């Protein structure tokens, strides 16, 4: 049986005193893809931010165990080096810093953490090329400054590319489908499918079912008002698409 990769128990979090997450329970095993759906304001993005260690959110209760370790006590960079990746909903621009330099700095930190020898410049560039091919992004993208002047689609592709470079054990995709046309959506989804294996896991946060046509989840959760109110198979996503979120709201208000 597959091992549990991440275990979230009764997680509660607030921002500026306002309670957003009100007791999340979630267990994800190696090789699984989970989807979290839910109406706007239900706490989906907050969950992603809290898992990544964003300081503006205060965790008031609960625990997150990642590969047997207490993740909440780790700094954001430690979580990353331990294998947790967040594909941001709104990737930030970092002018003047090329993706190549940015990824070089990140890969170095990850390898150091794992006790691996550093790559030579040519090995690193070879890796860049392989990953670019894998996720089908344009070679020239890597010479540009991180997200600077990127279109919405380019930003999302760049997130998937970085994910390919860092080979996380557990990746959270925060509304990666938002603002994507169908072609970009397919490239992003294909990237994720290629990176998927028996040892890693994905948590796909989305508002719409559309992305789940391409990234087929094993489990679908519905988040509403800071709690997971419904869990099912991939057919749950279709049901939500058809019926909207109103019936969920009615059941739980």
Applying CB under 8 A, which residues contact other proteins? 16, 52-56, 58, 75-77, 79-81, 85-86, 88, 91-97, 101-103, 105-106, 109-110, 113, 145, 162, 166
* Residue 43 near residue 59, CB atoms below 8 Å: no
Q: Which is nearer to other proteins, 96 or 115 (CB)?
A: 96
Q: Decide: helix, strand or coil at residue 137.
A: coil
121-134 helix and 99-114 helix, angle to the nearest 10 degrees: 110
Q: How far is the CB of 203 from other proteins (least distance, A)?
A: 15
Query: Please, are residues 21 and 47 in contact by the beta-carbon 8 Å criterion?
Result: yes
* Least Å from the CB of residue 161 to other proteins: 12
CB of 92 to other proteins, least distance (A): 4
Task: State which residue, 44 or 79, has the beta carbon closest to other proteins.
Answer: 79
Closer residue to other proteins in complex, CB, 63/109: 109
CA neighbor of 176 nearest in space, from 16, 80, 193? 193
Q: How far is the CB of 159 from other proteins (least distance, A)?
A: 10
DSSP assignment of 10-66, as one string?
A: EEEEEETTEEEEEEEEEEEETT-EEEEE--TTSSHHHHHHHHHT-TTEEEEEEEEEE
Nearer to other proteins by Cβ, of 49 and 209: the residue is 49
Nearer to other proteins, 192 or 248 (CB): 192
Q: What is the closest distance, in whole angstroms, from the C-beta atom of residue 105 to other proteins in the complex? A: 6
């Amino acid at each position: 049986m597959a091992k549990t990769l991440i275990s979230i128990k009764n997680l509660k979090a607030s921002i500026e005193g306002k309670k957003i997450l009100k007791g999340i329970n979630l267990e994800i095993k190696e090789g699984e893809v989970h989807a979290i759906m839910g109406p706007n304001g239900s706490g989906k993005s907050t969950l992603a931010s809290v898992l990544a260690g964003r300081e503006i959110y205060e965790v008031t209760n609960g625990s997150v165990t990642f590969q047997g370790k207490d993740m909440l006590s780790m700094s954001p960079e430690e979580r990353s080096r331990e294998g947790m990746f967040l594909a941001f909903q709104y990737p930030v621009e970092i002018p003047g810093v090329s993706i190549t330099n940015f990824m070089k700095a990140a890969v170095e930190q990850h390898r150091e953490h794992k006790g691996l020898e550093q790559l030579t410049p040519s090995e690193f560039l070879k890796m860049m090329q392989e990953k670019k091919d894998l996720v089908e992004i344009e070679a020239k993208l890597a010479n540009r400054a991180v997200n600077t002047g990127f279109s919405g689609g380019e930003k999302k592709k760049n997130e998937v590319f970085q994910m390919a470079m860092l080979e996380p054990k557990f990746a959270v995709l925060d509304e990666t489908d938002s603002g994507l046309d169908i072609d970009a959506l397919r490239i992003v989804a294909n990237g994720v499918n290629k990176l998927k294996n028996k040892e890693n896991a994905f948590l796909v946060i989305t508002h719409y079912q559309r992305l789940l046509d391409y990234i087929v989840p094993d489990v679908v959760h519905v988040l509403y008002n800071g709690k997971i109110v419904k869990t099912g198979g991939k057919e749950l996503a279709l049901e939500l698409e058809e019926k909207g979120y109103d019936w969920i709201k009615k059941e739980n208000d």
